[in-house]
Amino acid sequence: MSSKDLSLEELKDVQKQLSKLATSSDSEAILSLFAKLKSGLSAPTEDVIRQSKIGVAVGKMRSHSDKKVADQAKSLVKDWKAIVDKQRAQSSTTSSKASSSTASPAPTSSKTDSAANGNGTASASPSSTPSAATKPASSTTKIDFEILNDKVRNACLKLLYQSLEIGKETHGWNDSQIFDAAVSVEAAILSNQGKGSVTADYRNKVRSLSLNIKDKNNPDLRARVVEGDIAADKLVTMTNEELASDKRKREIEELQMQNLFKAKGAAAQEAETDAFQCGRCKQRKTRYYQMQTRSADEPMTTFVTCTNCNHKWKFC
């Protein structure tokens, strides 16, 4: 990163702002933060992206309802991934060359090899034979799933691990990090749903949660679990609605709002006013009505419709 780039603390601040705007319709604020990232994060490193969690925050915006926001989020993630992949390739090449030059002896001529062998056939030079030192080290850590002294629990642990490891290369997760998350989740299910034993509720929760975690339409959930944003004890008590992707949550919220608008009583009279500004088109031509949607001692809910673009919103 150059001296002009955003510091780690500044990136964390931007990440917090984006997280707060994850379900917001304030596209201008989101695009402003994207512009700040584009100019202030020209050559991010993998460590910086991981520590600041800015990649997760921007990644969530790829499913935003505003196409411009979604497109710019996809562009940022794509650019950062290309930069990180290039850095990894360069690092791998450098390490391989350093290892080869250190471990491989200088090549000898065919005549010298032939003399050493005592026959007329030249042997292959050391430089032409792959050695253990020149082979790239495997990035996969050997994971032991037989640690729980119970065949069913070990199988469940493996299932959770396999669900969590999807997309690990993109996020730069290592196997130990994923395994630790899987162990925590399995233990939380055993305690919460199984009450300390391998019960039918325990098995059902492992299966249903693993399906939610590996859902290709909800990669954010997987990232939040592996990176510790959602504690295992909280994860195993979350409802299907809470586990849903941000896009699905927005769809549910919009559907509920539409139902509320359609369910207004005959007595609910709409009035025109310029007191409200539309968050989408910024016009002040609106209609509104009020309805008691909560207990009697709570304030009424105001439902507003923009007469210019038909955008709907509510507030209490």
> Over the stretch 39-75, which tens digit does the pLDDT of each residue have?
887 778 878 887 888 888 887 788 788 888 888 888 8
> Closest Cα partner for 279 from 2, 25, 42?
25
- For 1-30, b where at least 16 C-beta lie within 10 A, e where not — what string? eeeebbeeeebbebbeebeebbeebebeeb
If one counts every other C-beta atom within 10 angstroms of the C-beta of residue 49, the result is: 22
pLDDT higher at 132 or 175: 175
If one counts every other C-beta atom within 10 angstroms of the C-beta of residue 181, the result is: 24
* DSSP state at residue 250: H
**CA–CA distance, 23 with 69 (Å, rounded to integer):** 12
Coil, strand or helix: which one is 110?
Answer: helix
Q: What is the pLDDT of residue 92?
A: 65
- For 139-164, b where at least 16 C-beta lie within 10 A, e where not — what string? eeeeeebeebeeeebbebbebbbebb
Least reliable range by pLDDT among 98-102, 152-156, 251-255, 282-286: 98-102
Most trustworthy range by pLDDT among 46-50, 98-102, 190-194, 249-253: 190-194
Q: Under CATH, what is the fold of the domain 265-315?
A: N-terminal domain of TfIIb (2.20.25)
Residue 126 has pLDDT above 90, yes or no: no
Which amino acid belongs to residue 62? Answer: R
Cα 21 versus chain centre, distance: 16
pLDDT higher at 168 or 269: 168
Q: What is the pLDDT of residue 267?
A: 47
Residue 43 backbone phi and psi in degrees, to 5: -140, 70
Q: Under CATH, what is the fold of the domain 8-95?
A: Transcription Elongation Factor S-II; Chain A (1.20.930)
Q: What percent of the chain has pLDDT over 70?
A: 79
Give the angle subtended at the CA of 273 by the CAs of 267 and 279, to the nearest 5°.
105
**CA–CA distance, 233 with 303 (Å, rounded to integer):** 37
Which amino acid belongs to residue 96? Answer: S
Residue 124 has pLDDT above 70, yes or no: no
Confidence of residue 261 (pLDDT cuts 50, 70, 90): low
> Closest Cα partner for 189 from 213, 172, 223?
213
Domain boundaries, the chain: 8-95, 151-246, 265-315
> Per-residue pLDDT tens for 105-120?
444 444 434 433 444 4
Q: In the predicted model, what is the mean pLDDT of residues 157-170?
A: 92
